[in-house]
Amino acid sequence: MKKFAVALLTATMMLSGCATHSLLSKDSGGMTTKQVQKTLVNDTVLAFGKPTLPMQGLPADAVVIVGQKHSYVLTEGGGQFERLLTRLDPKHIKLTKPLEFYSQNNDGQFTGELAFKYTKLKDDVSNQELNFFLQNNVEECTSYSDKSLNAQSFCFSIPLKGLSYPAVNNQASLHTLSRAYPVSIYTHEEQTTYRQGESDPIQKLVLFPFAVAFDVVTLPFQAIGKIFD
């Protein structure tokens, strides 16, 4: 019993010593590194449009998210979004995720998605709409509250790729949204925290190399307004 008590005391002292050493190491300096999400830009969507003139390197169906600080040119997914406005009634479309885009290397390129929910009274959903959903792999997502209202919902997302450009030249003349709608771009990076608790300075969004400002013409304004206002 006496030997056991001595062994227990020795083990306790060793553990206490390890904890003290760990604490001193943390307090005495060095640095810690962790993977963090860092926002590169927070912006406000003014409108959605298309370049007034064809631009080299951009697809003909490119759509521009007109921001107050920058322009976000959708090189993939924009055409599908534009077709959506012509095939479905915008007043029944609701955006289900914020406009948050990811730039892996902060090199002017970003990816993301536009996620929507389309809800109508079940008896009002047309065969044309059902065919559109089938052709575009849209899934039904009718909730309990929808059913209680005899409504039917369909959820879908449009994958996006894009490039960051300067703010458009003709901001002042555009039909803008009636309320501020946020858009942001973020990245993931290793953040190093030093003894004083300081970290690396915040990065800023890098625009696509050789990007220049341009003019846009807005997409069907009433349709856009019903979704984003």
pLDDT tens by residue, 83-142: 888 889 999 999 999 999 999 999 999 999 999 999 999 999 999 999 999 988 899 999
Residue in the structure block whose two tokens are 């929507």: 116
Low-confidence ranges of the chain (pLDDT < 70): 1-30, 194-202
Confidence (pLDDT) at 197: 53
Check if the beta carbon of residue 173 is closer than 8 Å to that of residue 91: no
Distance of alpha carbon 32 from alpha carbon 79, whole angstroms: 45
Short-list 164, 211, 179, 175, CA closest to 69: 164
- CA-CA-CA-CA dihedral for 16, 21, 22, 25, to nearest 10: 160
Exposed / middle / buried, residue 28 (Cβ in 10 Å: 0-12, 13-18, 19+): exposed
Q: What is the rounded CA–CA span in Å between residue 163 and residue 216?
A: 15
Amino acid 210: pLDDT: 86
pLDDT for the residue numbered 19: 39
pLDDT of residue 30: 62
What was the pLDDT predicted at 11?
Answer: 46
Phi-psi group of 95: left, alpha or beta (phi > 0 → left; psi -120 to 50 → alpha; rest → beta): beta
**pLDDT value of residue 202:** 57
